[in-house]
């Protein structure tokens, strides 16, 4: 797989995770110059903690973490939905004031836990009736002016908290993917997409400025051959080492990224 080259200006605008910078031999988006995914410090710390606990203790801790994951999703998801309700109401009002009379929600078909199809809720950020591939490019003409603002601050993803409360998604997990890019016959795809997807995760953080990479006429090939495989390797690493501590670290970093 060809690595994303740091000398390409359109591909160096990604926000880097801790410990990854061009001077350290990393490309934006979590790719090293050799094409390997660069582990984030969040994951590295979780792995060190797991190794320090020892084998049987680490396994027992992970079982406990998985048992508590749903409870954390329900508690934090409910709180977040209540807190975000005024924001959602403000966005709905802004859409109407801008003359947009289309539906507020967009239901995106994605691959859920066990490979089953789910409907992921988002605030609609494109003009009503927009068609095309399920990828958004930089300066995509389908995205409205308000939609660009919502996407920049990830506000359009707040309705996914409803998916979390329903049990379709988790707060933290692999990125929910469009079925047209999923191949469950591939072992890596199967490993990642059989798990419950999340609103945020290592891949979402590493590629939070992904749209800056989506340029040129070959953006679909770029996504299939370079960006998606890099995301999947990050998600697989998360699934291998996930703990409650790691989830809380990812949530904290997500909030920090949105605020900043």
User: How far is residue 153 CA from its own chain's centroid?
Assistant: 13
Residue 200 three-state SS: strand
Asked if residue 257 belongs to a domain, the reply is: no
Count of domains forming the chain: 1
Q: Report residues of the chain scoring pLDDT below 50.
A: 1-39, 50, 52-53, 56-57, 60
Asked if residue 118 belongs to a domain, the reply is: yes
Angle at 40 between CA 38 and CA 123, to 5 degrees: 105
Asked if residue 66 belongs to a domain, the reply is: yes
The pLDDT assigned to 67 comes to 67
Round to whole Å and give the CA distance between 59 and 225: 34
Contact 104, 72 (CB under 8 A): no
State pTM to two decimals. 0.76
Asked if residue 237 belongs to a domain, the reply is: no
Asked if residue 47 belongs to a domain, the reply is: no
Asked if residue 142 belongs to a domain, the reply is: yes
How many Cα atoms within 13 Å fall on the side-chain side of residue 110?
25
Q: Residue 215 sits in which domain range? A: 58-229
The pLDDT assigned to 62 comes to 55
Strand partners, 198: 170
Round to whole Å and give the CA distance between 127 and 208: 23
The pLDDT assigned to 7 comes to 36
The pLDDT assigned to 189 comes to 96
Asked if residue 161 belongs to a domain, the reply is: yes
Asked if residue 216 belongs to a domain, the reply is: yes
Strand partners, 54: none
Angle at 249 between CA 260 and CA 231, to 5 degrees: 80
The pLDDT assigned to 123 comes to 96
Give the DSSP letter string of 119-180: EEEEE--B-TT--S-S---TT-TTB-HHHHHHHHTTGGGTTHHHHHHHTS-EEESSPP--GG
- For the stretch 56-110, pLDDT in tens is 445 545 555 666 899 999 999 999 999 999 999 999 999 999 888 899 999 999 9
């Amino acid at each position: 797989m060809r690595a994303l080259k740091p000398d390409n200006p359109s591909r160096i605008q990604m926000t880097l995770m801790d410990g990854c910078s061009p001077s350290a031999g990393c490309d934006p988006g979590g790719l090293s110059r050799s094409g390997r995914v660069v582990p984030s410090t969040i994951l590295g710390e979780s792995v060190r903690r797991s190794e320090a606990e020892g084998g049987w203790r680490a396994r027992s801790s992970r079982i406990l973490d998985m048992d508590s994951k749903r409870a954390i999703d329900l508690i934090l998801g409910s709180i977040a939905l209540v807190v975000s309700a005024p924001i959602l109401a403000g966005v709905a009002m802004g859409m109407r004031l801008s003359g947009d009379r289309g539906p507020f929600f967009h239901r995106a078909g994605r691959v859920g836990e066990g490979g089953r199809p789910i409907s992921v809720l988002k605030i609609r950020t494109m003009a009503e009736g927009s068609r095309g591939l399920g990828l958004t490019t930089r300066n995509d003409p389908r995205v409205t002016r308000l939609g660009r603002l919502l996407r920049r601050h990830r506000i359009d993803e707040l309705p996914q908290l409803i998916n979390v409360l329903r049990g379709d998604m988790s707060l933290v997990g692999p990125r929910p993917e469009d079925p047209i890019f999923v191949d469950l016959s591939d072992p890596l795809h199967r490993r990642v997409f059989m798990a419950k997807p999340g609103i945020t995760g290592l891949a979402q953080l590493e590629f939070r400025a992904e749209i800056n990479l989506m340029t040129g006429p070959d953006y679909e090939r770029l996504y299939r051959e370079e960006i998606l495989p890099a995301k999947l390797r990050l998600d697989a690493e998360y699934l291998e080492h996930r703990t409650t501590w790691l989830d809380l670290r990812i949530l904290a970093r997500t909030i920090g990224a949105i605020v900043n």
